[in-house]
């Protein structure tokens, strides 16, 4: 079965653009989350726990540093594997 090469090539540009969009959106939301306490739980409460959504968003943004390269290079390897297989099967026809 033939896989269209653009399917495995467009992500090279689109994936970083998507991640950049996500990070910019989170960054833009940070002041609002900090100001309103959105989704945060403060002490005291009946469960005796606290949760700071602002901190979670910061941690999510930081987590992109080690995770994005791993995912991106995995996709590049998958691309190479599929396109190499596709090229080999074309040669055999």
Active site includes 53? no
Burial 34-58 (b: 16+ CB within 10 A, else e): eeeeeeeeeeeeeeeeeeebbeebe
Active site includes 8? no
Q: Which two tokens stand for residue 38?
A: 């959105």
pLDDT of residue 89: 64
pLDDT of residue 8: 84
Per-residue pLDDT of the chain (93 residues; tens, 9 = 90+): 566 778 889 999 999 999 999 999 999 999 999 999 999 999 999 999 999 999 999 999 999 999 999 999 999 999 999 888 756 666 665
- d(C-alpha 82, C-alpha 3), whole Å: 8
- pTM for the whole thing? 0.81
The residues that bridge with 51 in the sheet, in sequence order, are 41
- Among 15, 53, 64, 72, the active-site one is 15
Task: Enumerate the domain spans of the chain.
Answer: 14-83
């Amino acid at each position: 079965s033939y896989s269209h090469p653009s399917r495995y090539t467009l992500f090279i540009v689109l994936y970083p653009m998507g991640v950049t969009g996500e990070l910019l959106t989170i960054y833009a939301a940070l002041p609002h989350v900090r100001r309103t306490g959105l989704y945060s739980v403060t002490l005291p409460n009946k469960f005796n726990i606290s949760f700071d959504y602002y901190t979670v968003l910061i941690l999510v943004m930081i987590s992109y540093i080690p995770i994005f390269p791993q995912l991106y290079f995995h996709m590049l390897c998958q691309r190479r594997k599929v396109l190499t297989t596709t090229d080999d099967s074309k040669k055999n026809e």
